[in-house]
Amino acid sequence: MSPYHDHFVNFKSIPPHAIEAANKHTFDAIGRGDLPIKIPNGKNKTHILLTNVLYAPSMGATLISISRLTHAGYAALFRGDSC
């Protein structure tokens, strides 16, 4: 999910879809599309295209699901305070 409309490609509006955050705050997703991101990979960055990402303009930051990344064939390694 991301609040950055201008970062999306293949964007399409959708009927408002309520999403409840862990703190019980509710916000609406009003679009869906693909979102190119850069993931830290050592001293480099890996470019990934996330598909079917929700656009929620009132979110404070982009939220990326590790399970969605691994489902897409990527892996994440957490060690110490880094990923």
Question: Is residue 81 included in any domain, yes or no?
Answer: no
Question: Is residue 80 included in any domain, yes or no?
Answer: no
Model confidence band, residue 53 (pLDDT cutoffs 50, 70, 90): very high
Query: In b/e form, how buried is each residue of 9-21, taking b as 16+ CB within 10 angstroms?
Result: eeeeeeeeeebee
Domain count, the chain: 1
Residue 83: pLDDT over 80:
no
CA distance 75 to 65: 12
7-45: pLDDT as tens digits: 999 999 999 999 998 888 899 999 999 999 988 887 888
Structural domain span for residue 56: 5-71
Question: Is residue 76 included in any domain, yes or no?
Answer: no
In SS3 terms, the chain reads as CECCHHHCEEEEEEEEEEEECCCCCEEEEEEEEEEEEEEEECCEEEEEEEEEEEECCCCCCCCCCHHHHHHCCCCCCCECCEC
- For the entire predicted model, the pTM comes to 0.83
